[in-house]
């Protein structure tokens, strides 16, 4: 069994390190079987050898049938091992993700608990910087102090009095009588 080599020079050394399995599921192999080379992914090679085994069985050649079935079984074992490794990697990654999420949840709960129990007087206060009035901010109408409304002096017209004596008669108990206009 020989794995095909990439034609591109930049891809030659990509997947040769630490992972001995690599991506076997999608890798193309050249299989030298009893009737010549069979080329394809492991699943394609399995299918081809199974077809050759059926043809040999129909022709009555038990030895060739067994030979093709053994070749198919070899690639089936490779494929199942690669699938098992992929599943193990996926489960490990999911486990790590669950652990990370649990740690983030614990940290978030601790922060919320600390914020709930924190005394505002003991909380760190931001430093006040004296910048001599130049804060670098743009003045807007909302940021300017509101001017006090001007009080207009109104000249009141005196109430028209119909009769000076009638106004005194109307309020005899008031204690102070309005002065008569001269």
Distance of CA 130 to the CA centre of its chain: 40
Band of the pLDDT at 147, cuts 50, 70, 90?
A: confident
Question: Which residues on adjacent β-strands are paired with residue 32?
Answer: 37
For residue range 62-116, list pLDDT tens digits in order.
Answer: 999 999 999 999 999 999 999 999 999 999 999 999 999 999 999 999 988 888 8
The residues, any chain, with a CB within 8 Å of residue 21's CB and separated by 6 or more, are 81, 82, 85
Three-state SS at 31: strand
Residue 118 has pLDDT above 70, yes or no: yes
CA-based nearest residue to 64, from 28, 38, 72: 72
- For 146, other C-beta atoms within 10 Å of its C-beta total 7
CA-based nearest residue to 34, from 47, 18, 52, 13: 52
Q: How many residues does the chain have?
A: 182
């Amino acid at each position: 069994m020989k794995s095909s080599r990439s034609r591109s020079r930049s891809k030659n050394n990509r997947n040769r390190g630490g992972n001995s399995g690599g991506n076997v599921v999608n890798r193309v192999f050249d299989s030298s079987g009893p009737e010549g080379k069979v080329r394809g992914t492991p699943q394609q090679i399995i299918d081809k050898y199974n077809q050759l085994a059926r043809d040999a069985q129909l022709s009555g050649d038990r030895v060739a049938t067994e030979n093709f079935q053994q070749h198919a079984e070899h690639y089936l074992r490779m494929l199942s091992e690669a699938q098992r490794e992929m599943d193990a990697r996926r489960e490990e990654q999911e486990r790590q993700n669950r652990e990370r999420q649990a740690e983030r949840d614990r940290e978030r709960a601790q922060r919320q608990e600390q914020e709930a129990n924190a005394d505002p007087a003991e909380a760190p206060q931001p430093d006040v910087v004296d910048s001599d009035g130049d804060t670098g901010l743009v003045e807007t109408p909302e940021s300017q102090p509101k001017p006090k409304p001007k009080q207009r002096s109104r000249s009141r017209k005196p109430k028209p009095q119909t009769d000076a004596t009638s106004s005194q008669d109307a309020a005899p108990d008031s204690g102070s009588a309005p002065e008569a206009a001269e």
